[in-house]
Structure 1
Amino acid sequence: MSHVGRESEPGKRMLRRGFLSVRNGLTADDVRETAAALAARALGLPELAHARTVAAYVSVGSEPGTLALLDALLARGVRVLLPVLMADNDLDWGAYAGPGSLVRVQHGGKMALLEPAGERLGPEAILDADAVLLPGLAVDARGMRLGRGGGSYDRVLARLERAGADPALVVLLYDTEVVERVPEEAHDRPVHAVVTPSGVRRFR
């Protein structure tokens, strides 16, 4: 790991704890209301309006809700890919076919995730995506994303870069999670936009 990475990791851990504690204070009503607003904002993005394939994820717990958005994309005829966490923390992908196509999977001591029940399409399936919706805990004024620290999406972004693929990268967050600066490491890449319940902010 780079020198920058070693310096920033304790700072990232503290930041993650702070953002997670705020999220954990949200009620089910808070999450539901923001999910509807997030879906409406995201569906207005040109990057999603023209996308044939969107890689997304199913929100869990107090994460900004994504199910309303997934169903709206599906209703538009968009092919929606959802991640399947593998043993090495890399991501395989499966197609979303509505809420009934999801199964709850417990990964060791981690939280249970909702994953697609159908055919596994392989890690390279992400290369077909016109847009990628990324989970995160914060994004800063430069578009740098603070993830949860598992590294799964770092691998996804590296895979896209190696293949020369350039889908729109969009993070879904709460309004208070757009901040001035988050620590970064040498491998971190900025996203193109962040969507919050109150609006959209673009970066590059």
Structure 2
Amino acid sequence: MAGTSIKAKLRAERLAARDAINAAERVEKSLSLASHGMAAIAFSEQTIVSGFLPIRSEVDVRPLMDLLSERGARICVPVVLDKETIVFRELAAGAELVSGVFGTVGPGPEAAELDPDIMLVPLAAFDRRGHRIGYGGGYYDRAIYRLQQKGCNPRLIGIAFDCQEVASVPDEPHDIRLHGILTESGFRDLSDEAIVKIG
């Protein structure tokens, strides 16, 4: 089976497992993830962290974003501009959110566009080496590549539930590996060195 077909099968299986988590359990797991994240992610005041506003059965990362913001981080979220591009707009307290594509909402064009220092990356599946399967659109891959071309080197932390882990994700030489995985059971540091303080 080709890598693309394997990825599609793994994506479908892990998303089905994620969908099977009931709403109350999803809240509990998301709060546990937030607690582990605050204990594991080192950051300084004004560090720019990109999170995301959950859709479907994704981890609700808003509790973690709130805690990071309370401690001085600047929070931004992805906004889809077109079929190829996402940008990261600052999520300010009380800012109006506008509807986007794929059932998403996010800050409008008046919000500042930021380049994240740390990216909390949604995913469909992951393995212990830090390889991820996204939703198939390639938005994050392209966004990370654009940031790297600008000289930015964001820390990439995959956000998932434990049930989304697979034995192995088919990877190619150009694939970008995550620096860590954060789930309801804890943080796994997959970088060559621990996440260090930024800023």
TM-score over 0.5 for the pair: yes
Matched, 1:15 2:10: yes
Equivalent of 2:95 in 92, 101, 104: 101
User: Match of 2:143, as an amino acid?
Assistant: V
130-139 vs 39-48, which deviates more?
A: 39-48
2:54 equivalent in structure 1: 59
80-89 vs 190-199, which deviates more?
A: 80-89
2:163 equivalent in structure 1: 176
2:123 equivalent in structure 1: 136
User: Match of 1:40, as an amino acid?
Assistant: S
The answer to whether the 8 A contact 2:97-2:107 is kept is yes
Deviation at residue 117 of structure 1 after TM alignment: 3.4
The answer to whether the 8 A contact 2:74-2:90 is kept is yes
Deviation at residue 164 of structure 1 after TM alignment: 3.0
Matched, 1:27 2:14: no
5+ residue gaps, structure 2:
192-199
Identity of aligned residues (%): 29
Instruction: Give the Cα separation in 1 of the matches to 2:15 and 2:30.
Output: 17
CA RMSD of aligned residues (A): 2.0
1:3 equivalent in structure 2: none
Q: Is the alpha carbon distance of 1:165 and 1:24 closer, same or farther for their aligned partners in structure 2, counting shifts above 3 Å?
A: same
Matched, 1:119 2:110: yes
Equivalent of 2:143 in 133, 146, 156: 156
Deviation at residue 113 of structure 1 after TM alignment: 0.8
1:13 match: secondary structure: helix
Which structure carries more helix by proportion?
A: 1
Matched, 1:147 2:101: no
The answer to whether the 8 A contact 1:95-1:118 is kept is no
5+ residue gaps, structure 1:
1-5
The answer to whether the 8 A contact 2:119-2:156 is kept is yes
Q: Is the alpha carbon distance of 1:37 and 1:51 closer, same or farther for their aligned partners in structure 2, counting shifts above 3 Å?
A: farther
Q: How many residues align?
A: 191
1:101 match: secondary structure: coil
Equivalent of 1:92 in 87, 96, 117: 87
The answer to whether the 8 A contact 1:60-1:114 is kept is no
The answer to whether the 8 A contact 1:51-1:130 is kept is no
Deviation at residue 49 of structure 1 after TM alignment: 5.8
Cα deviation per residue 1:77-112 (whole Å; 9 max; x = unaligned)?
A: 2111111111123112211123x43525242xx3x1
